Amino acid sequence: MHAETQTEWEVRMFGRIISYLRDELCIDFPYFNRALSALIPEGKDNISAFATEGIHLYFPPARYVSLFEENELFLRRAYLHTVLHCLYAHLWQRGGREEVRWNTACDIAVEYIIDGFNKSSTCRLLSWLRQKFYEKMKEQDVFSAAGVYDLLADETPGHFLRLSREFYVDDHGLWGEKDAKMPNQGHTNPSEDAQKRWQKIARQTQFQKEKGDESEEQAAAAMQEKITAQRKRRSYADFLKKFAAFHEQMRCDLDTFDLSYYTYGLRTYGNLPLIEPLETREERRIQEFVIAVDTSYSTSGELVRSFLQETLHILLEESAFFTTAKVHLIQCDEQIQEDIVVTARTQAERVLARFEIKGGGSTDFRPVFAYVEELKAKGELKNLGGLLYFTDGNGIYPQKKPDYPCAFLYMDAYDERSVPAWAIRFRVKEERLAEKR
């Protein structure tokens, strides 16, 4: 009979601790159930904190078994902290950003969410340093890791070091790891597979949150808006989903099917599973959409092309649109110059390949709204999900609020006083679009 070693005992005990931490967190956050169960716990001796490559949850067995007795709250928060990195896809988003600053930005963004939950399983006193930086984030309206990364550029080296120490929780050394193996998979380089898996988990988490208590705390509401399947294009994807209306998409809902309960029922009661998969699922999907582009003399053609490429790519994804989708692509300066109807990604690619800016006059937003009303009157637009207007902001706005969501995307600073109160506003930085070229 094999005698259990100290290390084996520590690994086994921490497996139990992980299960306990998960149960405690799921009491306050039931919509995180699948995400908290997604990582495979595995002991690792050469680390001092949680670490993940998106597949395993590595932990230092001896240190964390001891820490559980001393500071259970820290471990609960650290566990959730690491899982949120995966949900936000921080592991795969660094790109050309400086690594140390990106790591700290991701930690701050995640800790801001956790500190905002104000739940018994995660609540802790905030240090003065945290409070001051959170105030700065709110003043700048910056909450994403990418936004915090830019915010940290203004910090002195000494203050940045203090922030890094304050918000450090887990080890990011395995982020983007390509050498690990997915469970039951023979191939290597699973980073892309892990990312896609977390995209699916993020969709389910957001869906479960939206179907739950709509009066959740402020940070939980922010969580609902921020988790998306495509974190790389999260700013656009989140923004566009605000225009989506609930429609039922007929498909098998495998995301909400819990295999553990199903098999438990079979084991316990013979041939009686406890839960059957749903036949349909309700998802936020867009059926019709209008993209208007300001083609006046003051608008950059290259920025317009980059914007259209990114926006059409998001809108025509299967996860965002119904199979029967329609996007009107309208060019307008002081009058309608062109209206192209796009219904598929392949068509969008052809349109973008031949796209030319038409216009060059002054800017008047009113013709687009009048034209949309004509399309609605003719029955060509029956389920309009919203209108997105890409512009520099220097134009004549309609005074009457339309009966559909409308947002203006500004590529630069604009005069907020001229924008109607009903208009949704979103600032797109030029360098963000430049990255897509």
Q: pLDDT (tens digit, 9 = 90+) per residue, 303-335?
A: 777 777 777 776 666 444 555 578 888 988 888
In a domain, 136, yes or no: yes
Residue carrying structure tokens 């001393």: 70
Distance CA 240, CA 237 (A): 5
pLDDT of residue 133: 96
In a domain, 326, yes or no: yes
The band of 274, judged by pLDDT with boundaries at 50, 70 and 90, is low
Residues 298 and 386 grouped into a single domain? yes
Residues 13 and 137 grouped into a single domain? yes
Residues 191 and 295 grouped into a single domain? no
In a domain, 251, yes or no: no
Residues 207 and 315 grouped into a single domain? no
Q: Is the pLDDT of residue 254 over 80?
A: no
Domain end call among 185, 211, 237: 211
User: Domain containing 374: what range?
Assistant: 286-434
Question: Going by C-beta distance under 8 Å and a sequence separation of 6 or more, which residues neighbour residue 361?
Answer: 296, 297, 333, 334, 335
In a domain, 244, yes or no: no
Average pLDDT in the chain: 78
* 3-state class percentages of the chain: helix first, strand second, coil last, to nearest 5: 50, 15, 35
In a domain, 260, yes or no: no
Distance CA 429, CA 328 (A): 24
Residues 309 and 412 grouped into a single domain? yes
Q: How far is CA 108 from CA 27, 103, 148, 153, 220, in A?
A: 24, 9, 8, 14, 16
Residue carrying structure tokens 């609960």: 76
Segment of 93-107, 193-207, 377-391 carrying the highest mean pLDDT: 93-107
Report residue 248 as tokens: 């039922």
Kind of pairing, strands 40-43 and 321-332? unpaired
Residues 291 and 201 grouped into a single domain? no
In a domain, 387, yes or no: yes
Residues 298 and 392 grouped into a single domain? yes
Closest CA to 290 of 249, 331, 346, 351: 331
Dump pLDDT digits (tens) for 144-191.
999 999 999 999 999 999 999 999 999 999 997 655 555 555 555 567
- The residue among 262 and 224 whose pLDDT is bigger is 262
Q: At what angle do helices 61-70 and 6-28 cross, to 10 degrees?
A: 50
Distance CA 157, CA 346 (A): 48
The band of 108, judged by pLDDT with boundaries at 50, 70 and 90, is very high
Q: Which residues pair with 391 in a beta bridge?
A: 410
> What number of other Cβ atoms are within 10 A of residue 350's Cβ?
12
Give the chain's domain count: 2
Residues 316 and 192 grouped into a single domain? no
In a domain, 135, yes or no: yes
- The residue among 366 and 239 whose pLDDT is bigger is 366
Q: How far is CA 278 from CA 165, 229, 408, in A?
A: 46, 21, 38
Distance CA 154, CA 249 (A): 46
Domain CATH code at residue 418: 3.40.50.410
Q: At what angle do helices 128-140 and 99-117 cross, to 10 degrees?
A: 100
Q: Is the pLDDT of residue 142 over 70?
A: yes
- The residue among 316 and 417 whose pLDDT is bigger is 417
Domain end call among 178, 211, 244: 211
Domain end call among 179, 211, 243: 211
Distance CA 315, CA 352 (A): 14
In a domain, 263, yes or no: no
Range scoring the smallest mean pLDDT among 44-53, 98-107, 123-132, 310-319: 310-319
The pTM score is 0.52
Q: Is the pLDDT of residue 245 over 50?
A: no
Dump pLDDT digits (tens) for 184-237.
555 555 678 888 899 899 888 887 777 665 444 454 445 544 544 334 444 555
Range scoring the smallest mean pLDDT among 68-77, 171-180, 266-275, 372-381: 266-275
Residues 195 and 307 grouped into a single domain? no
At residue 289, φ and ψ (nearest 5 deg) are -150, 150
Task: Look at the chain and count its residues.
Answer: 437
